[in-house]
Structure 1
Amino acid sequence: MEIIVNLDVVMAMRKVSSKELAKAIGITEANLSLLKRGKVKGVRFETLAQICNYLDCQPGDILVFNKQDEV
């Protein structure tokens, strides 16, 4: 099982740069980059809410659960 992060896709659709989003929500571009690549262990609901508010989207647009068959 894994969570797929589609933040870069949503940002591209909205034509929002990493620099713009990071500044708007108050995190570093480095941390935003880690989030976009799915290299974080967690994300605060407050941060997720700020991202969704700025990008006018839902959490499900950014985070997708991919259930893989386990053997």
Structure 2
Amino acid sequence: MPVKVTLDAALARRGMTGKQLAEKMGLSETQLSLFRSGKVRGIRFATLAKMCAVLECKPGELLDYDADASDLALKD
């Protein structure tokens, strides 16, 4: 998948653990772990906004994109 979760790097820059982030967000460690590993197929904007508020960052610090030609193929 060309979209990659870079949350671990954002946590490291802030000296915060995933457990601490989950606690501050009121999210289970399991849910956060699934996001960190890229095993989720989506995330609610409200959850992403809360994560950004706690980490004082922008969504671009939590996600990255590697271009893939197949992304241009339209699928219904």
Q: Same fold (TM over 0.5)?
A: yes
Q: Is there any run of 5+ residues in structure 2 with no aligned partner, and where?
A: 71-76
Higher relative contact order (CA 8 A, sep 6+): 1
Task: Tell me the matched-pair count.
Answer: 70
Aligned to 1:51: 51
> What TM-score do you get using the length of structure 1 for normalisation?
0.90
Let me know the Cα RMSD of the aligned residues. Answer: 1.2
Aligned to 2:40: 40
Distance in structure 2 (CA, Å) of the matches to 1:23 and 1:30: 12
Equivalences for residues 59-70 of structure 1 within 5 A: 59-70=59-70
> What TM-score do you get using the length of structure 2 for normalisation?
0.85
Shift of 1:62: 0.6
Q: Is there any run of 5+ residues in structure 1 with no aligned partner, and where?
A: none
- Aligned residue for 1:39, secondary structure, equals coil
4+ residue runs over 3 A deviation: none
How much identity, in percent, do the aligned residues show? 41
